[in-house]
Amino acid sequence: MSVETRSDPFAELERARSDYLAVSRGAGMYASEDDHRRAEERAWDRLERARAQVARLRPEGAPAGAEPASS
């Protein structure tokens, strides 16, 4: 994860979403089903944290893709 991604919650959300989908679809890349399940849980937790961070920044009632206005 780059410094830019960590400082931009919207970029982090997109990266977390992308990573979750890659893990979810990549079951065959893991040594066992249990390894895949654990990786998927970690990716999901990261996605949920990123969603929560963006939700805290978004004005009440704003659409999901809306970023706050720059000052």
Closest-CA residue to 39 (of 59, 21, 12): 21
pLDDT tens string 8-50: 999 999 999 999 999 999 999 999 999 999 999 999 999 999 9
Q: Within 13 Å of residue 20, how many CA atoms lie on the same side as its CB?
A: 17
Write the CB contacts of 39 (distance below 8 Å, at least 6 apart in sequence): 23, 30
Q: From CA 12, how far away is CA 29, in angstroms rounded?
A: 24
Provide the 8-state DSSP code for 51: H
Give the model's pLDDT for residue 71.
43
Instruction: Give yes or no for residue 67 having a pLDDT over 80.
Output: no
- Predicted TM-score (pTM) above 0.95: no
